[in-house]
Chain A
Amino acid sequence: MNTLTSRRFSIRWTVLAIGIGLACLVAILATRKPAAQIISKSPLVGQLAPEIVAKGIDGKSVALSNYRGKVVVVNFFASWCVPCQREHADLVSYQAKADKSGDAQVVAVLYDDSPGQARRYFQERGGNWPVLIDDDGKYALAFGVRGPPESFLVDPNGVVRSKIVGEVDFETLDKMTSQLKQELAR
């Protein structure tokens, strides 16, 4: 094999390697989760969830610790927030499945929004979970929320297991809940 042929050969391999690299990059970008949802590294993960004792938009008082024994999705949302509107149907599906199994619960906390707006929002979109009022923003602060929607997966012992920044979807929540249950069953 002369030098010219060997050079042509190495160029061919280089082009092939670059091509394979680009194809892998495209495949990774195409299959990864949308940037709208990030499993965040919160310092709260692994810690006991801060207690919430607040009045709901239905006037009933609720404590987060009342749901010990269930996987709880604490969802900070606002009716004016577009990603919150987009994730709502998925939360409805998640709660419907949770109602059947009886081992999970969504608890929403109103972020920078009025109870009246939230009531209208739930009348239009459905959803039967407690929606707690956080007038002075102290619960959002206790959970380290920077803006809605942010959701926290709390295990049956009350420990925060994950923080999701951005909109959640049914598949992710369902998968995370199943994984958590399997982990706890071991």
Chain B
Amino acid sequence: MKSVRVRYMVMALCIGAALFIGIRDTKSQSIEARVNQIGSQIRCPVCDSQSAIESETNAAVAVRDEIENRLRNGQGEAEIKAYFVSRFGQGILLKPGTDNLAWIYWVAPIGAIGVGAMIFYIAVSKRKSRQIVLLSDEERSEIEREVGRAH
């Protein structure tokens, strides 16, 4: 009877240990996966176009550590991304969000082309209206006669 109890206890301990190890691994794996997922959207601060996951610079490692710490403290993806934006600006995100003035970047070139075309049109039409009109011999002699009379 006693040996059966010991067996059950050992079995329960084994199951408990297995569950604990299993849960711990899953948790750490999921944090690692989330660090990768968030880090792949954040630009490495000292690189041109690499994400914090792709780069091995100290700055990229610091970004990854910061993401991990924040995840462990219960922060979500949006909060973590907002933190980096609050320090570096929208440019730290590989796909930056749009700001309120983003429409200017689209409208300004079209507006500039329109204004340029208008200026060109006005300049050309003014030039046309100023074209030299050559006088005929008759007209010239008439003007000379009139001028002579006036003197």
Binding site for B on A (CB under 8 A): 3, 41-44, 47, 112, 136-138, 140-147
Contact = CB atoms under 8 A, between A and B. Distances in A.
Given A3-B132, A43-B89, A44-B87, A138 B45 contact: no
A49 B68 CA distance: 23
B126 to A, nearest CB: 11
B11 interface: no
A141 B45 CA distance: 9
Contacts of A112: 58-59
A4 to B, nearest CB: 8
Interface of B: 45-46, 58-59, 61-63, 65-66, 85-89, 92, 130, 132
Contacts of A41: 89
A118 B66 CA distance: 25
Contacts of A137: 58-59, 61-62
Per DSSP, are chain A's interface residues mostly helix, strand or loop, or mixed? Answer: loop
Given A3-B130, A145-B45, A146-B46, A138 B89 contact: no
B88 A140 contact: no
A144 B87 contact: yes
Contacts of A143: 87
A145 B45 CA distance: 8
A42 B45 contact: no
Given A43-B85, A47-B86, A141-B63, 5 more contacts: A137-B61, A144-B87, A146-B45, A147-B45, A147-B46
Contacts of B59: 112, 137, 140-141, 146
Contacts of B130: 3
Nearest to A3: B132
18 contacts: A3-B130, A3-B132, A41-B89, A43-B86, A43-B88, A44-B87, A136-B65, A137-B58, A137-B62, A141-B59, A141-B62, A143-B87, A144-B87, A144-B89, A146-B46, A146-B59, A146-B88, A147-B46
